[in-house]
Amino acid sequence: MKANKYIFLLSAASVLGLTACMDNYETLPADEFTTEYLFSTTDSLGTQARQYLNTIYDILENGHNRVGGYYLDSSTDDAISIDMDGEPDVLRIATGQYTASNRVSSDMRWGEYYTGIRKVNILISGIDSVPYRATYRNALGQTRPLGVSFKAEARFLRAWFYFQLLRRYGGVPLVGDKVFDLDDDMELPRNTFAECVDYIVNELNDIQDSLRSVSTISSEFAHAPTKQACQALKSRLLLYAASPLFNGHTLESGNALVGYPSYDPNRWKLAADAARELIEGAGHKGKDSLTLTEDVRDVFLNFYDYGANPELIFFRQGGNGTNVENQNGPLGFTGSRMGNGRTCPTQNLVDAFPMADGRMRGDSPTYQYSDDNPYANRDPRLDKTILHNGSQWLGTTLATWQGGTNNPANGADYSLTSYFMCKFMGKFQNASEYSSVLHAWVMFRYAEILLNFAEAENESVGPTAEVYDALYTLRARAGIKRGSVAGYRYGLKQDMTQDEMREVIRNERRIELAFEEHRFYDIRRWRIAEQLFSQPLQGMQVVESQGMTTYTRIDVLKVNFEARNNLYPIPYSEVNKNRNMVQNPNWK
């Protein structure tokens, strides 16, 4: 490193995204940030380096209405946008209306992630020269200079950026720790999928003990990744790597860029072991142990106290306000109660919620499903996720039929499905108006790890007692009773086959993790998106007439999903300027 070298944060910061993402670069004055300034040998507080680290954190996603003003799940079979005429980004993604040159910048994010990777490389190249006085306690309980933590945090963020690229594009160029200059050769080839997975895993293994543990985190650093966040990312990464899209059912046979050239069942065991390591880790014993928060809604509303929210692993802090409610709350309210109803859950998602005893519709001996009252006696998670006709909200019984008070037909937009999302919102069922609440965007929580383990373990060795126990834990927290019907517990049939358990686990992920940006990638990594989208997405037509309410399923959107849409195309500008860059299959 040249001691007086300027750190150019223009688009050189994105290295491989030099011309691909000109709308994402930063324009900080080059003479303001030199390496001597950032990593001053007299700055014992490390103030400038910490501020620079914060700019790397700023690249992390906040998923609330992230994709052009909507949730990414509005590009799946779980929801649609309320705006079906303006071609919002989520509709373009859902219907495949994008190419390598006509991209959806709000989600494809190639340049942003490489900007973050370069920033990390700049930070780790110079932070060791900062003479930190302050110390912290790492995951092993050792006292270390604060700069050690900042360096490990930056490397975690780099691993996260690479993972985001990997699940969008497959194998991507790995730049190591190198800080590229404008005159360097940037025509780097893509690394194989396997090389990218190994690199991320090795990084996470190397830094996890240098980070804090959930048992030692303080409120000042509550947003920082911990050892458990490393383990959680490794769990998710290895689960994806074992999945059909990358392991056995790749987009192009023998293409090592888009997955492993051959199937290996042991990859499921590696994924199960990674999740088990987190579940059984010593860092989760005692008062700070990771477990499920009593009310799942509190996971997203309280991020200051790990003790009060023991499910939380890693998150991005949100503001104290009502933006989530105002953007997604039901229509028909005004003033401080106003909602724009942007996210409209589908009937497909509603149907995925079982009955109150955990058995699916039509299979429960205790709770009979009726088309005349379709929301009665359902899994309690339904009403904590979706608002429907008859829901209680803002002290009102909602009328979401088209033309009803909360879905007026004379507005510019209305919900074609008759549903609105309420997950992530404050508990406003009986309130008179919205009031400010904290909104965290949760990237990792313990419920996901239980589901990761259940899926990987089932694929590895079948539906063991541990697989059942993971699902029992989730369903018990949801409010489903253990039950006394012979052959069932928490609504789950005993002695399921591996195939039967696979379907149960996939459905449990769908309802437990709804709107958390899992469904989009799950249906791709399972290679079921083509099948799912072969049928139209549905909503519920609710008709109110002469005191009678009727419910009829209707088709609201037909999607043609092509196999190539399982991965995004590499930006055309990258392929055009880099002779070594290979495009993804069937994209130009």
Count Cβ atoms below 10 Å from residue 409 Cβ, excluding itself.
Answer: 9
pLDDT of residue 399: 97
Return all residues near 348 (Cβ < 8 A) that are at least 6 apart: 77, 78, 537, 538
φ and ψ of 251, to 5 deg? -70, -25
Residue 232 tokens, joined: 């959680």
pLDDT of residue 27: 42
List Cα–Cα distances, 139 to 51, 131, 215, 275, in angstroms: 24, 22, 8, 18
User: Of 381, 389, 391, nearest to 415 (Cα)?
Assistant: 389
DSSP track, 433-491: S---EE--EEEEEHHHHHHHHHHHHHHHH-S-HHHHHHHHHHHHHHT-----STTEETT
376, 571 Cβ separation under 8 angstroms: no
Return all residues near 377 (Cβ < 8 A) that are at least 6 apart: 355, 356, 367
Residue 320 tokens, joined: 């104290």
Return all residues near 291 (Cβ < 8 A) that are at least 6 apart: 284, 310, 311, 446
Amino acid, single-letter form, for residue 164: Q
Q: Collapsing DSSP states into helix, strand and coil, what is residue 102?
A: coil
Integer Cα distance of 282 and 78 in angstroms: 37
357, 481 Cβ separation under 8 angstroms: yes
φ and ψ of 162, to 5 deg? -65, -40
Alpha carbons within 13 A on the beta-carbon side of 540: 30
Integer Cα distance of 98 and 100 in angstroms: 7
Count Cβ atoms below 10 Å from residue 216 Cβ, excluding itself.
Answer: 17
Going by DSSP bridges, is the β-strand pair 79-81/343-345 parallel, antiparallel, or unpaired?
Answer: antiparallel
List Cα–Cα distances, 442 to 60, 88, 140, 516, 535, in angstroms: 11, 24, 25, 8, 31
Integer Cα distance of 70 and 91 in angstroms: 10
Residue 572 tokens, joined: 């055309």
Rg (alpha carbons) of the chain, rounded to whole number: 24
- Kindly provide the residue ranges of all beta strands, DSSP E only, lying in 170-289, ordered along the sequence: none
Integer Cα distance of 218 and 479 in angstroms: 32
Amino acid, single-letter form, for residue 122: I
Residue 347 tokens, joined: 């009937």
Element (H, E) at 233: helix 227-242
Q: Collapsing DSSP states into helix, strand and coil, what is residue 15?
A: helix
pLDDT digits (tens, 9 = 90+) for 389-436: 999 999 999 999 989 999 998 877 899 999 999 999 999 999 999 999
Q: Collapsing DSSP states into helix, strand and coil, what is residue 280?
A: helix
118, 33 Cβ separation under 8 angstroms: no
Residue 565 tokens, joined: 């849409």
Integer Cα distance of 14 and 210 in angstroms: 27
Q: Which residues of the chain carry a pLDDT beneath 50?
A: 1-31, 282-288
Q: Collapsing DSSP states into helix, strand and coil, what is residue 486?
A: coil
Residue 399 tokens, joined: 């009328």
pLDDT of residue 185: 84
- Residues counted in the chain: 588
Integer Cα distance of 153 and 210 in angstroms: 9
User: Of 78, 68, 61, nearest to 515 (Cα)?
Assistant: 78
User: Of 219, 228, 210, nearest to 311 (Cα)?
Assistant: 228
pLDDT of residue 282: 45
Q: Collapsing DSSP states into helix, strand and coil, what is residue 344?
A: strand
Letter string b/e over residues 115-128, b meaning 16 or more CB atoms within 10 A of that residue's CB: bbbbbbbbbbebbe
- Report the chain's terminal Cα–Cα distance, integer Å: 38
DSSP track, 157-192: HHHHHHHHHHHHHSS----TT----TTS---PPPPP
pLDDT digits (tens, 9 = 90+) for 341-356: 999 999 999 999 999 9
Chain center to CA of 535: 25
Show the DSSP H helices in 310-362 as ranges.
323-328, 347-352
Integer Cα distance of 47 and 43 in angstroms: 7
Integer Cα distance of 470 and 506 in angstroms: 13
Residue 214 carries which DSSP code?
T
